[in-house]
Amino acid sequence: MNTQDIFDEMWGTSETLRRPYSDFKSWYDGEDPKRLRAKQREAEELFRLTGITFNVYGRAEAEERLIPFDLVPRIISGREWQKLGRGIEQRVRAINAFLYDIYHKQEIVRAGRIPEEMISRNDAFLPHMIGVTPPGGIYTHIVGIDLVRTGDDQFYVLEDNARTPSGVSYMLENRETMLRMFPELFSRNSVQPVQNYPADLRRSLAACAPPMTGPKPTVAILTPGIFNSAYFEHAFLADQMGVELVEGHDLRVVDGRVAMRTTEGYKPIDVLYRRVDDDFLDPLNFNPDSALGVPGIMDVYRAGGITIANAPGTGIADDKAIYSYMPDIVEFYTGERPLLENVPTWRCSEEDSLAYVLDNLADLVVKEVHGSGGYGMLIGPTSSKKELAEFRKKLKARPGNYIAQPTLSLSTVPILGRSGLTPRHVDLRPFVLCSPERVHITPGGLTRVALEKGSLVVNSSQGGGTKDTWVLED
């Protein structure tokens, strides 16, 4: 990848300061570098005291880690955000329509736009949801759309997160930290707020409650427990929303309703924001060994007695093989061309595509269809001959388990390095709330940054950090 082809969001490609960063740069030039480095250390200490950590799975140490925070904000103009917002809303509405269709008449399959086996043989397709319509017709109550930028006016969707998208607590804490440490920066820049997200989330979830619910729906968050990597976020959101954080053993089915244990007995729940995977949600319907879910909750759900957010079976919409059909999905359900482009994708399940991927493995990024967190992927240009050879064997053994994409020239945003500002690659996860009333996109999102020079892997589990994301009013 030629570094001269990389778009820097502060400097563009011509070393001319881009307008969204003008006020920040004036402020930065007047700052003492020693003060900024001290503030960086102060921010890390704040995160440590707050308890913002995550668990690293699959490693011997498996310890809790602090996600590194960089105090240089990622700044997006209001005009850029409006364009992104239109594309994100179009995509999210199409995803919801797709989920309704595949669990009902499967018209997109009948029309030949998606092969039938991509649905029926997909591990994320949930037969229990066939014929079920969630309250309000909403499947994806909370969505995270991962975006990458390659040019001044060019964004691509890298992934759709339609099951249980995480990271919103970091978006909120990043902003809180910046407001606390640099209040003067916000007086010089008209930055759109993100702090309303918890109230917006509760309002959006309440609007999706079952029809027989009273005027004040009871909302709760279901967590797998303290050993889950995102437990901090579960507890944080429950606190911020003013709702109960519950585990499976706190819930039971009482008189056809899902109820939570309280000091006054069991109280019915109208909306359950679950952070437990489908397979562990109901031991009577799915994995019988699960101690994380609620026996019988799917029966209550199918009878319309509770809203589960996101709906069971939504995982098929963020399957990376289905992702490759998203341009067709958007066009089929909206009648419009996609406003946000996909990254070109080869489905390794197809013979011709597999042959191309094997011939060009050193130039491609290969991902597991159901993978996440940066695990199980290959970045060809930075892999050794041994790693390429080993991955070649995996591809040949289970081609349907992988998709491949070109190595994009991801945009860079400066971080505060030892000698000043230095560019690092980033992506962006905006958070979208869906209800029968509206689609709401929080103006900002989670910017993840690859802290190692030249690295394209931004995942926190792989050493990445986060930044505050500013959307200007302009």
Residue 58: is its pLDDT beyond 60?
Answer: no
Residue 55: is its pLDDT beyond 60?
Answer: no
Q: DSSP strand E in 77-207: where? A: 142-151, 154-161
Q: What was the pLDDT predicted at 4? A: 59
Q: What was the pLDDT predicted at 458? A: 82
How high is the mean pLDDT of the chain? 92
Cβ atoms < 10 Å from Cβ of 252: 16
Q: What was the pLDDT predicted at 328? A: 96
CA 435 distance to own-chain centroid: 18
Mean per-residue pLDDT for 288-311?
A: 96
**CA-closest candidate to residue 233, choices 460, 472, 434:** 460
CATH of span 344-407: 3.30.1490.270
CA–CA gap between residue 98 and residue 311 (Å, rounded): 13
CA–CA gap between residue 37 and residue 42 (Å, rounded): 9
- pLDDT band per the 50, 70, 90 thresholds, residue 462: low
**CA-closest candidate to residue 219, choices 189, 199, 192, 233:** 199
pLDDT tens figures, 164-202: 899 999 999 999 999 999 999 999 999 999 999 999 999
- pLDDT band per the 50, 70, 90 thresholds, residue 371: low
pLDDT tens figures, 201-246: 999 999 999 998 989 999 999 999 998 888 999 999 999 999 999 9
Q: What was the pLDDT predicted at 375? A: 65
Residue 329: is its pLDDT beyond 90?
Answer: yes
227 contacts 269 by C-beta, under 8 angstroms: no
CA 411 distance to own-chain centroid: 19
Residues 328, 334, 340, CA angle at the centre, nearest 5°? 65
pLDDT tens figures, 96-137: 999 999 999 999 999 999 999 999 999 899 999 999 999 999
Q: What was the pLDDT predicted at 64? A: 60
Residue 461: is its pLDDT beyond 70?
Answer: no
Q: What are phi and psi of 223, to 5 degrees?
A: -115, 150
pLDDT above 70: percentage of residues in the chain: 94
- pLDDT band per the 50, 70, 90 thresholds, residue 62: very low
**CA-closest candidate to residue 449, choices 6, 108, 73:** 73
Q: Where are the domains of the chain?
A: 1-125+138-194+410-474, 344-407
Q: What was the pLDDT predicted at 57? A: 46
Which whole-number Å values give the CA distances from 124 to 84, 315, 333, 417, 434, in the listed order? 28, 5, 21, 42, 21
Residue 275 CB-half CA count within 13 A: 25
- pLDDT band per the 50, 70, 90 thresholds, residue 13: confident
CA–CA gap between residue 107 and residue 151 (Å, rounded): 36
Q: What was the pLDDT predicted at 140? A: 97
